[in-house]
A and B are shown apart, each in its own frame.
Chain A
Amino acid sequence: MREVDLSAVRPYADHLGDGLVQMSFTLPVPYSLAARRAAMELAARMGFEEPEVVHYEQLTEGYTYFVMYGRCVQTVDFAALQGEGFDIEYMGEDEIEHFAQTHIGRPIVVVGASTGSDTHSVGIDAMLNLKGYHGHHGLEGYRCFETHNLGSQVPNSVLVARAIDVGADAILVSQTVTQQNLHVHNLTELVEIVEAEGRRGQMILACGGPRVSNELAKELGYDAGFSKGTEPHHLATFIVRELAARAESTRSDASAQVAASPQSTAA
């Protein structure tokens, strides 16, 4: 068996490194031989070698649907991408409960809302409510979490005030991010209000939404971003691990200070 070269990976179908990709798309042209030629040419322009139409059919009048194969000659350096933070191993529910009890030992308070003008609360409900999502129940169903779901269209300032009042360890917001600056501004404003209140160091901020990646979360100033496919135990794993890591670094800072302080040795 061939060893995978993680510094140059490409798709594979039959054997490693063959680069085979299957793709499907629709062109707004009538079902015809010319349509087939157009699809071949398009795939070639996308950079695929040996493009092949394996299936095409009329979708509706004037539209043709294609399934194609093509050989991708590009590679990516997977080795350089590892360790960028998104390759977390998720814990199961029992593990999370055990981890929280061992490392945190008190209820973990999570406040969630869809902020600003966003009326979609389904993402927050899936993460927080008992019913949960995909057979995994939400954080409300865990013994280690105390959850507050504030619903939708919550102004940022009200969300932050509530989070401070209940002593939140984490704030979870969901927002559908589009290319409109408004949605992005609403997400950055939450982070900045937490900063202005002097609470950034004490609160984990996580955002979720169909287009939220870790890269976007970083730009927005959040500690994590959760996108499509996230299940409640993914979020729970992140929160308990991050809280434990923060507690750990606070402890080591404190002991470093004690060690460095001349007063403490004199006392």
Chain B
Amino acid sequence: VTQTLSELTASTGRLALVGLAKNTGKTEALAALLRELEAQGRRVGVTSVGRDGEERDVIDSRIEKPRVLLPAGSFVATTDGLLRASTIPHELLEDTGVRTPLGRVMLARLEGAGAIEVAGPSAAENVRAVSDAMLAHGAEQVLIDGAIDRRAASSPDVADGLIVSTGAVLDHDIDEVVQQTRDAVELVRLASVDKDAAAGPRLRELARAGESLLVGEDLEPIALPPRFLLTADPERVAQLLDGNPGGRWLIVAGALPERFLRGLLHPVHKRRRELVLVVADPTKVFLWKRGPEWFERQGVVLRTFSRIALEAITVNPVAPQSHRFDSAELRGRLAEAIPDVPIFDVLSSDYPGAHRPSRKSETPGPGQVAGIAPAPGAPLTPR
């Protein structure tokens, strides 16, 4: 049975949407969800770690962006200025006190329907707070839209589930798009520390200290110098491992940058024994070129204390101002590489959820070059 995005995520109270890059169709996924939830009569709350519903892309003004249309009764976290600019009648519920470059974030209940630019808090802690506030005011589900490629709001500390958006914009080569998406999804779905280690409970207990620790087979921890994972060059990493040959696990207290992982490759290979790094959750890991499975094959294993619930992947087969792939082919290739996660193109005619007029096949679709601007009052074209 094919389900829609809203059906798949119906029980997710705080749902995060994260894109792998700009223009991967994240806001289209949000718009599709909003259409479906409106049809079901569900009261939603919406916030964005960036800015949503703006008319044009902030970096490339040739790219038109989808509007965010909210029905009456919706909750929204956005700035005072954007609330006023929307001209939608609303009831102000709270001044969150959160300041952003676009103004102060307010919490409002809309008393009419309309298009609104959404710019909520950026910091993960504040995102969680406004999401909870909207739920407390009566929202049945809160949608947290990401920005660019930011992932912090998808942490289990903030959201209960995640939709990942990917698309042609990642590369000209479809194989490369599939590979990069697969790497990103591997990271999102990082296995739990409990998967293959009876030591899980003890490691969790040690992690509460809030510092990075190297832990031996005997489960005795050695504290690493402050900021070691952020700053250590390969030489210092090698010294650490050579000096502690019994080290089996490395508990990561904060961020895990790829630089550090690369520094581990040689010493781990030399000692012929794998090292398991355990992070608080996948948003703490920063990879550029390789996915977790590649590192695992080199003996550098990544595990997490908290897992992210990945509900679905959406694809945008169009790279604005550049190239496009066949939607069905891209989805097929992704499904082969990433089995067991539902994959959608919400603008494709075969998408089972509520539709907006489908993509025009002969024009470049999303982010089409704006030709002569429509006269004021002319109907908005899709996209």
Residues of A within 8 A of B (CB): 45, 47, 77, 80-86, 155-158, 160-161, 164-165, 177, 179, 181, 184-185, 188-189, 191-193, 195-198, 200-201, 211, 213-225, 242, 245, 249
Contact of B284 among A164, A189, A196, A217 (CB under 8 A): A196
Interchain nearest-CB distance for B113 vs A (Å): 19
The residue among B49, B50, B51 with the most chain A CB atoms within 10 A of its own CB is B50
Among B98-106, B236-244, B344-352, the stretch that binds chain A is B98-106
Does chain A have a CB within 8 A of B326? no
Q: Known: A157-B230, A157-B259. Contact between A85 and B100, CB under 8 A?
A: yes
Does chain A have a CB within 8 A of B382? no
Closest 9 CB pairs of A and B: A196-B255, A161-B230, A219-B50, A84-B81, A161-B227, A214-B101, A197-B254, A157-B257, A195-B152
Contact of B123 among A160, A185, A201, A216 (CB under 8 A): A201
Cβ contacts A to B, 30 pairs, < 8 Å: A81-B81, A81-B85, A84-B79, A85-B81, A86-B101, A155-B257, A157-B260, A181-B169, A185-B21, A188-B148, A192-B255, A193-B230, A193-B255, A195-B124, A196-B255, A197-B230, A197-B255, A214-B101, A215-B51, A215-B58, A215-B102, A218-B51, A218-B100, A218-B102, A218-B122, A219-B50, A219-B147, A219-B148, A221-B147, A221-B152
A85 & B101 in contact (Cβ 8 Å cutoff): yes
A80 & B50 in contact (Cβ 8 Å cutoff): no
Residues of B within 8 A of A177 (CB): 59
Q: In the bound complex, how far is the Cα of B102 from the Cα of A242, in angstroms?
A: 14
Does chain A have a CB within 8 A of B41? no
Contact of A200 among B103, B125, B373 (CB under 8 A): B125
Residues of A within 8 A of B124 (CB): 195, 200
B22 & A184 in contact (Cβ 8 Å cutoff): yes
A165 & B119 in contact (Cβ 8 Å cutoff): no
Question: What residue in chain B is nearest A206 (Cβ atoms)?
Answer: B101
Residues of A within 8 A of B84 (CB): 80, 83
Question: What residue in chain A is nearest B229 (Cβ atoms)?
Answer: A157
0/1 string, B5-30, CB within 8 A of A gives 1:
00000000000000001100000000
Contact of B147 among A47, A77, A160, A220 (CB under 8 A): A220
Does chain A have a CB within 8 A of B217? no
B85 & A184 in contact (Cβ 8 Å cutoff): no
Residues of B within 8 A of A (CB): 21-22, 49-51, 54, 58-60, 79-82, 84-85, 97, 99-104, 119, 122-125, 147-152, 169, 226-227, 229-231, 254-257, 259-260, 283-284, 286, 372-373
Interchain nearest-CB distance for A203 vs B (Å): 10
Q: Known: A85-B79, A155-B259, A192-B286. Contact between A179 and B119, CB under 8 A?
A: no
Residues of B within 8 A of A189 (CB): 286
Residues of B within 8 A of A249 (CB): 97
Question: What residue in chain B is nearest A77 (Cβ atoms)?
Answer: B85
Q: Known: A45-B372, A160-B255, A193-B255. Contact between A218 and B97, CB under 8 A?
A: no
The residue among B59, B99, B150, B259 with the most chain A CB atoms within 10 A of its own CB is B59
B123 & A195 in contact (Cβ 8 Å cutoff): yes
Question: What residue in chain B is nearest A213 (Cβ atoms)?
Answer: B58
Q: In the bound complex, how far is the Cα of B254 from the Cα of A164, in angstroms?
A: 12
Residues of B within 8 A of A191 (CB): 122, 150, 152
Q: In the bound complex, how far is the Cα of B246 from the Cα of A248, in angstroms?
A: 49
B123 & A215 in contact (Cβ 8 Å cutoff): no
